[in-house]
Amino acid sequence: YKVAKRAWTKSELLQQAQEAAQSAITESIDVKPKSKLRSQTDEEEQIRQLGERCAYYLDVERHCLEKLGGGSAGETTTTVGGGRHVPTLVGVYPDDENRDWLVFDLVQRTSSTDESSAVAAEDADADSSIGHRPKPARTLYDILQEDWVDQRMQRDVGDPNADHHLYVLQKELGMAEESTFGDVLDKTLVELLRTVCVVNAANIVHRDVKPGNLLIT
């Protein structure tokens, strides 16, 4: 299984801007008189520059992933720093409209622990309708959002460890049931810092390290 991404085009960005403006009118949002707004030429120039930045950022991402290595055949992640991983870039491929796509091997979810009932039910419905497919790795942000809800639901299970705020992350990491909040926090931060150090050693600086950009495998 593969996943792909590409940069927004100028026409797509322009359409988004037009839809946002229409939505503001529909919702009766107070806007400045047109005479005080940027001219249409200025707006198009800004969108053109935004489109160029999108294409540039995508090219930088491609360069960095190629610099970190492509991984071996059959692998879906590139191992760096003694066990840390980054997605493996398969290549860059144009579509019928000559838009370049970065194509990656799917980073799969590897946790064998029990999931929340809501997630398990959703996956069961998906499997029954489209057949078995590998589940993509979840981001740290998604897991922390579930932890925020789940820690309240765990109060009646009788296990004091199940009540800490990183319990879902603990299960996702495959850690022992007796692990504490501190154990999970230590493991997460140590793995993150090791990865950042290895990436920095390759003369790459990640400018947007945040939970939504971190996959848990």
3-state secondary structure of 131: coil
- pLDDT: which is higher, 160 or 22: 22
Quick: pLDDT tens for 36-58: 445 667 878 888 899 999 999 99
Confidence of residue 118 (pLDDT cuts 50, 70, 90): very low
- How many of the other CB atoms lie within 10 Å of CB of 65? 19
Structure tokens at 189: 């931060």
**DSSP calls for 146-210:** HHHHHHHHGGGSS-GGGGSTTHHHHHHTT--TT--HHHHHHHHHHHHHHHHHHHHHTT---S---
Confidence of residue 70 (pLDDT cuts 50, 70, 90): low
